[in-house]
Amino acid sequence: MLYRQLTLKDIAKELNTSVSTVSRALKDHHSISPEMKKKVNDLASRWDYHPNPTALSLLKNKHYTIGVVVPEIAQNYFSIVMEGIEDAANQAGYHVMFCLSKEILQREINVVNTLLNNRIDGLIIAPSKETVSHEHLDCIVNRGMPLIFIDRYCEAVPASRVLGDDYNGSFSAVEHLILTGRKRIAHIAGPETLSNSNPRLSGYLDALKKHRIPADKELIVHCDLTQASAIDCINRLIGLKKLPDGILTYNSSIAFQVMPVVKEKGLKIPEQIAFVGFANEPIISYIEPQLTTVIQPAYDIGWEAVNLFLDQQADEDYAATPKTKILPTQLVIRGSSVKSSALHAGLRHA
């Protein structure tokens, strides 16, 4: 059984004060009152608290290296995120070490440990779809190192996040389908373990609710991000007695995998089933009609993640209070959701 190491945050919570106050009190800093110093030191002694020597070393000695872990780079989205990270880090004088989890928890744990052994100053990570346990990420926080989540996050880990606006992106996509006359809209959702699956599902449901279209559970299916799962999801939807007339997919890769299946069944896109995806992946240029998609601010997400890292490096109080930045998305309308004649007539999302 694993036991979490006692941290400054535990002491701060018990005494209803900040982590920085506890840290300064233990260092006998002149800005802390004698009364607070006594409270902190008494509790630290009673709880047998000992500073982590590795954490102290990392705090005192910068190595100007940021570790980055993403699930994959086959998706152009994460490649662009990494470009934003690289550019911002280089501008600040930092090197970047990139690793892939390939959506596998054990691989993610292994690469995080490898990065720690290579003396990184902090970690930027998009957790894998399997990351439901997070001791390896708690370890980063307990060492006093900056930890920044991008795109996805672990709710129980107290760390900053930079995210695209998944909820409003999904809401605008479904509302677009409704405004083009769709009334039976399905959602091929992402894995329930991923943090960004829920806001996309919520945006879908709230758009239906706004337009007084009842939600139908049989129109919501979850894909585990494999091709086999995507094909199973679309077969379930087009096998229903009453076909959906619009589908929002968790990402554009799923749309790329399932749209050919719909056409093979003799169904017309968008006349019979309209599609909207997430992320402007290059592969969607190879399917007809062109995919309407919610474009995510991938480069800006990477850039802002490095800025949060730098803020936490510079300000102890900032690091003690995780921040969340949500960046806007944009809906780009193409032929998968409206007829080409309507596009040529200048139809745009309101």
Digit-coded pLDDT (tens) for 91-110: 999 999 999 999 999 999 99
Per the domain annotation, does 210 fall within a domain?
yes
Instruction: Give the model's pLDDT for residue 183.
Output: 96
148 and 271, same domain (yes or no): no
One domain, residues 159 and 219: no
Q: Which residues contact 108 (CB under 8 A, 6 or more apart)?
A: 69, 101, 125, 127, 128, 130, 131, 136
Residue 342's pLDDT band, with cuts at 50, 70 and 90, is low
Has residue 43 been placed in a domain? yes
Least confident of 137-141, 218-222, 317-321, 335-339: 317-321
Q: Which string of b and e fits 21-54 if b means at least 16 CB within 10 Å?
A: bbbbbbeeeeebeeebbebbbebbeeeebeebee
For the domain that residue 130 is a member of, what is the CATH number?
3.40.50.2300
Residue 5 confidence (pLDDT): 59
What pLDDT was estimated at residue 44? 85
pLDDT of residue 60: 53
Give the pairing of strands 274-278 and 324-327. Answer: unpaired
Is 2 a residue whose pLDDT tops 50?
A: no
- Is residue 72 domain-shared with residue 155, that is, in the same domain? yes
What confidence tier does 314 reach under pLDDT thresholds 50, 70, 90?
A: confident
Regarding predicted confidence, which is higher, 274 or 36?
Answer: 274
Ranked by mean pLDDT, the top range of 60-64, 153-157, 282-286 is 153-157
Same domain assignment for residues 131 and 245: no
Check pLDDT > 90 for residue 346: no
Same domain, 170 and 309: no
pLDDT in the model for residue 155? 93
* % of the chain surpassing 70 pLDDT: 88
At a CB cut-off of 8 Å and minimum separation 6, what does 232 contact? none
94 lies in the same domain as 106? yes
Do 268 and 148 lie in one domain? The reply is no
Checking if the pLDDT of 54 tops 70, the result is no
pLDDT per position as a tens digit, 69-84:
999 987 789 999 999 9
Confidence of residue 301 (pLDDT cuts 50, 70, 90): very high
- Range of the structural domain that residue 95 is part of: 61-164+298-328
43-47, 145-149, 180-184: which has the minimum mean pLDDT?
43-47
CATH number for the domain harbouring residue 26: 1.10.260.40
3-state helix, strand, coil in the chain (%, to 5): 45, 15, 40
Q: What is the pLDDT of residue 87?
A: 95
The answer to whether 201 and 170 have CB atoms below 8 angstroms apart is yes
Please report the pLDDT score of residue 159 as a whole number: 94
∠ CA(56), CA(159), CA(89), 5° rounding? 75
Q: Is residue 56 part of a domain?
A: no
pLDDT (average), residues 262-277? 97
Kindly state whether residue 119 falls inside one of the protein's structural domains: yes
Given a cut of 70, whether residue 283 has pLDDT beyond it is yes
Q: Is residue 87 part of a domain?
A: yes
Same domain? For 133 and 177 the reply is: no
Is the confidence at residue 258, as pLDDT, over 90?
Answer: yes
For residue 1, what pLDDT is reported?
Answer: 31
pLDDT value at residue 29 = 67
Q: What average pLDDT does the structure give for the chain?
A: 89
- Please tell me which residue, 312 or 122, carries the higher pLDDT value: 122
User: Does 349 map to a domain?
Assistant: no
Same domain, 337 and 202: yes
Give Rg (Cα) of the chain: 24
- For residues 23 and 66, state if they share a domain: no
232-253 pLDDT per residue, tens: 999 999 999 999 999 999 999 9
Residue in the block written with tokens 């919570």: 13
From first CA to last CA, the distance across the chain in angstroms is 55
| b (16+ CB within 10 A) / e for 78-117 | bebbbebbbebbeeeebebebbbbebbbebbbebbeebbe
Strand-pairing partners, residue 149, are: 125, 161
Q: Are residues 189 and 123 in the same domain?
A: no
pLDDT band at residue 343 under the 50/70/90 scheme: low
Query: How many other β-carbons are positioned within 10 Å of the β-carbon of residue 69?
Result: 23
Task: State the pLDDT at residue 43.
Answer: 87
Instruction: Evaluate whether residue 2 is within a structural domain.
Output: no
Q: How many domains does the chain have?
A: 3
CA-based nearest residue to 78, from 124, 9, 27, 25: 124
* Calpha distance 295→213 (Å, rounded): 25
Is 216 contained in some domain? yes
Write down the pTM of the prediction: 0.79
- Position 13 pLDDT exceeds 60: yes
pLDDT score, position 121? 93
Q: What's the rounded Cα separation, in Å, for the pair 252 and 238?
A: 19
Strands 122-125 and 65-70: parallel
Q: Are residues 142 and 212 in the same domain?
A: no
